[in-house]
Amino acid sequence: MKNIVFTTVVCLTLFPNANGFVYPNDGVFANPSDVHSFYQCSSSTSYLIHCPAGLVRNDAQKKCDWKVVDPIIHCAASNQPNCREKTRWATDGIVIVGVDSKSGSDSQHLNSLLGIFVDTLHGNNVYVADRSNNRIQMFLGNSLSSGGITVARGNGTGSNPNQLSSPLDVYVDKNENIYIADDGNQRIQMRQKGATSGITVAGGNGGDEELNKLNILKFTNGSSDGIIVAGQQEDESSAKILSRPTNVFVDDCETLYVAVTANDRIQKACNTVAGGYGEGSNASQFNQPWTVKLDQYNNMYIVDTFNGRIQKWRPNDSAGVTIIGGNGFDDKPNQLWFSYSLALDSEGNIFVNDLGNHRIQKFNVLSETNSY
């Protein structure tokens, strides 16, 4: 670590006030509003440490670390800063699992992987729905290449609480509880951290039009019946109709986005916000878009599955830009072969499932292209 300045002062235990606060066993921050320096205690002596340029102190780990950009939320404002307006990503991905592009069931392989989730609250751990292996795999954010850890195993295909059947997607909450779209059982399973069995929190009753069965519904906490939030029985060309909705995303302002695969468009509530110009590979078109995710600046990242690319749409744009892939279907680092899901970590790096190659690719953000 360079550019570190050491200043010897007496180690004190301070109570919270305007100029400092208690930092048990490790000293005090003399100025809580200054995120670039802190006191580190050693043998009853404090050393004032200044973080190198571009780094800030990490309160949780008591060290200098990469800057994590806090979400910018302006739900009532239509004009907010976009710090990733001109951001670019590496054209070649880094394989974190499935280097040989072969399927398998050990820690270094997957089989028909689908949904990806990055837990940005707990070290950027990566969770994957390993569909044909009937399991959820976790890859530790600080050692992604060390292999997957099974955090929800199927124990054979079935509908018992400790089983899964072709899981499609995965989500992790702030308490590290795991929610699984258990497709074969048409239910949402919740597994508490460390548990070996799940609890059905939605569905599990088949898949027709009743409100306790799964189409696109919102289930409030504790309710066994859902509320229809998207989709009505009308002409399929209507923005109110969802033909093969494959992914939903809810932003920090509780706005619903839906990837409507068969309509080749992305819906925001009842409005089309990307695509809708028919199937194709132009910048304004999609060919089977499967997943949509948003960052904190409302940029949309869309998996354009049958075009083999990831499209980025800035707010209010009428066309997207290819940021990953678009180079044909094969196993080269700059190619995708039937990708269906993506996720962003806290630094903006993008993880993409590459189902045809049985691998996960990580595309690093080029930090110098960010605006913040």
Residue range 189-210: average pLDDT?
A: 76
Given this model, what pLDDT does residue 41 score?
Answer: 58
Domain 8-66: top CATH class: mainly beta
Q: Which residues of 99-134 are buried (b: 16+ CB within 10 A; e: fewer)?
A: eeeebeeeeebbbbbbbbbbbbeeebbbbbbbbbbb
Report residue 344 as tokens: 């962003």
Tokens of 136: 């959820």
Domain positions in the chain: 8-66, 94-369
Q: Residue 24 gets which letter from DSSP?
A: T
Give the pLDDT score at 119: 95
CA distance 311 to 287: 11
The pLDDT assigned to 109 comes to 96
How far is it, in rounded angstroms, from Cα 323 to Cα 369?
13
Each residue's pLDDT tens digit, 246-264: 878 777 777 877 888 878 8
Taking alpha carbons only, the member of 327, 333, 321 closest to residue 90 is 333
Find, among 304, 306, 305, 300, the residue nearest to 318 by Cα: 300
pLDDT digits (tens, 9 = 90+) for 275-331: 889 999 999 999 999 999 999 889 999 999 999 999 999 988 999 999 999 999 999
d(CA 3, CA 9): 19
Instruction: Check pLDDT > 90 for residue 95.
Output: yes
- The pLDDT assigned to 276 comes to 87
pLDDT number for residue 371? 73
pLDDT greater at residue 342 or residue 197: 342
pLDDT tier, 81 (very low <50, low <70, confident <90, very high otherwise):
confident
**SS3 labels along 265-281:** EEEECCEEEEECCCECC
The reported pLDDT for the residue numbered 28 is 46
Split at pLDDT 50, 70, 90, the class of 206 is low
High-pLDDT (> 70) share of the chain, %: 67
- Rounded CA separation 100/90 (Å): 21
Model's pTM, two decimal places? 0.76
Q: Which residue has the higher pLDDT, 94 or 296?
A: 94
User: Which tokens belong to 97?
Assistant: 């699992």
Give the per-residue pLDDT at 316: 87
From CA 132, how far away is CA 183, in angstroms rounded? 11
Mean pLDDT, residues 203-219:
54
pLDDT, average across residues 165-185: 90
* Rounded (10°) CA dihedral 257, 188, 288, 104: 140
For residues 17 and 26, what is the distance between their CA atoms, to the nearest angstrom? 18
Report domain 94-369's class.
mainly beta
> Are residues 125 and 142 in contact, defined by beta-carbon separation less than 8 angstroms?
no
Mean pLDDT of 79-108: 92
Instruction: Give 5-30 pLDDT, tens digit per residue.
Output: 333 333 433 333 333 333 344 444 44
> 48 - beta bridge partners?
39
- Segment 206-228 mean pLDDT: 55
Per-residue pLDDT tens digits for 115-159: 999 999 999 999 999 999 999 999 999 999 999 999 998 677 888
Residue type, 92: D
